[in-house]
Amino acid sequence: LPLALAAETPTCAPLVPVTFDNATIPGLLGWWFYITGASKYPPHLAELKEVKHATFSFSPSSHKDELNVTEIVRLNESCVVRNTSKIQVIWHNSTLAHVDDQVLSMAELIQSDKDLLILKYLNADFLGLSLSARTPNVSKEHLEEFKAHLHCLGFTEEEIFPTS
């Protein structure tokens, strides 16, 4: 019996999207450290392979349904600072939209610890998931839980790109 139980495939906990309310967006404001992510979307995949370190900040925009984004990214040996991005907050379906270089990315915010930011990307048929945190390091338990979600979604170790 123990061998039969060990051979069962693990049950995957569902990723529960956050339904936006008046506290959701203020809780996103400030600096975040990108920890790891996986994507099957070719434009994101190419960039994920090159990202060595990334931090980003959300700040209020002059529009209620928009956030300003500042990104500091080390791609291979180059440091890139971008502060021209905007995130559109789509209240009716609780999603975030980001347009970068004419590429639209839609994402759901996944329920998790308040100091973690898990985004599930909704790009056509290409799945993606990223983990960011308020600090440059996360607990081993949080990282293992995130990796379990990735494996449940069908990602392999080769498709997961942590920062250094």
Mean model confidence pLDDT for the chain: 86
122 pLDDT above the threshold of 60: yes
72 pLDDT above the threshold of 80: yes
**Both tokens of residue 20?**
């936006």
pLDDT value of residue 7: 45
Supply angle C-alpha 40, 47, 153, rounded to 5: 25
Nearest to 82 by CA among 93, 68, 67, 72: 72
**Both tokens of residue 160?**
């997961």
Q: What is the 3-state secondary structure (H, E, C) of 4-21?
A: HHHHCCCCCCCCCECCCC
Torsion of the alpha carbons at 145, 51, 104 and 86, rounded to the nearest 10? 100
pTM of the model: 0.86
Return the CATH number of 23-162, one of 3.30.70.890, 3.40.50.10490, 2.40.128.20, 1.10.238.10: 2.40.128.20
Supply angle C-alpha 160, 156, 110, rounded to 5: 60
pLDDT value of residue 115: 95
Higher pLDDT, residue 9 or 118 = 118
Q: Domain segments of the chain: what residues? A: 23-162
Instruction: Encode pLDDT of 93-103 as tens digits.
Output: 999 998 776 77
Higher pLDDT, residue 51 or 155 = 155
Nearest to 128 by CA among 33, 36, 13, 11: 36
**Both tokens of residue 80?**
């890139």
